[in-house]
Structure 1
Amino acid sequence: MKVALFDFDGTLYPHETFDILIEKIKKHPDYKAVYNKFMRSFAPIYVGYKLKLVSKLTMQNKALEKYIHAFKGMGKEEIENFFHEIAVNMAGDMRPTLVDQLRKLKKDNYYIVLVSGAFVPLLEALFKSETVDYIFGSVIHYNQGKLDHKKQFNRLHSGMKVKLLIDHFNNRGETIDWENSLAFSDSYSDIQMLELVGNPVAVQPDEKLLKIATEKNWKIYN
Structure 2
Amino acid sequence: MRIAIFDFDGTLYSKETFQLLMDHLKDHPVHGPKYKPFFRKILPLYIGYKLKIVPEPTMKERSMQIYAGALHTLSKKELDDYFLEMKDSMREGFNVDVINRLKQHKDEGVHVMLVSGAYTSLLHAVTKGLGFDTIIGTDIPFTKDGTFNKDISIYHIQGKRKNEKIMESLAGNEIDWANSFAYGDSLSDLPVLELVGKPVAVKPEERLERVAIERDWAIL
* TM-score of the superposed pair, with normalisation by structure 2: 0.95
Q: Determine if the alignment matches structure 1 residue 198 to structure 2 residue 197.
A: yes
CA distance in 2, matches of 1:130, 1:166: 23
Distance in 2, matches of 1:165 and 1:217, equals 24
Q: One-letter code of the match for 2:39? A: M
Query: Contact conserved, 2:138 with 2:155, CA < 8 A, in 1?
Result: yes
Question: C-alpha separation between the residues in 1 aligned to 2:30 and 2:130?
Answer: 33
Instruction: Measure, in 1, the Cα distance between the counterparts of 2:101 and 2:68.
Output: 32
- Distance, in Å, in 1 between the alignment partners of 2:201 and 2:25 is 32
State the partner residue of 2:160: 159
Query: Taking every aligned residue pair, what percent have the same amino acid on both sides?
Result: 37
User: What SS does the corresponding residue of 2:183 show, helix, strand or coil?
Assistant: strand
The AA in structure 2 aligned to 1:98 is V
Unaligned regions of 5+ residues in structure 2, if any? none
Deviates more, 1:17-26 or 1:44-53: 44-53
Stretch deviating more after TM superposition (197-206 or 86-95): 86-95
Shift of residue 129 of structure 1?
A: 6.4
Matching of residues 20-59 of structure 1 within 5 Å: 20-59=20-59
Q: Aligned partners of 1:65, 1:6: CA distance in 2, in Å?
A: 24
SS in 2 for 1:21: helix
The one-character-per-residue Cα deviations of 1:134-159 (angstroms, maximum 9, x if unpaired) are: 11101012121212222221111122
Residue identity in the other structure for 1:111: H
Question: What CA RMSD, in Å, does the superposition of the two structures yield over aligned residues?
Answer: 1.4
AA aligned opposite 2:51: L
| Structure 1 SS opposite 2:57 | helix
Counterpart residue identity of residue 77, structure 2: E
Q: Which residue of 1 aligns with 2:121?
A: 121
Q: Distance in 2 between matches of 1:203 and 1:34?
A: 35
Gap regions ≥5 residues in structure 1? none
For residues 53-87 of structure 1, what are the alpha-carbon distances to aligned partners after superposition, in whole Å with 9 as ceiling and x for unaligned? 21122111111110011012211111111100112
Q: Distance in 2 between matches of 1:84 and 1:97?
A: 24
What's the counterpart of residue 86 of structure 1? 86
Q: CA deviation at 1:187?
A: 0.8
Aligned residues: 219
Counterparts of 2:46 and 2:211, CA distance in 1: 31
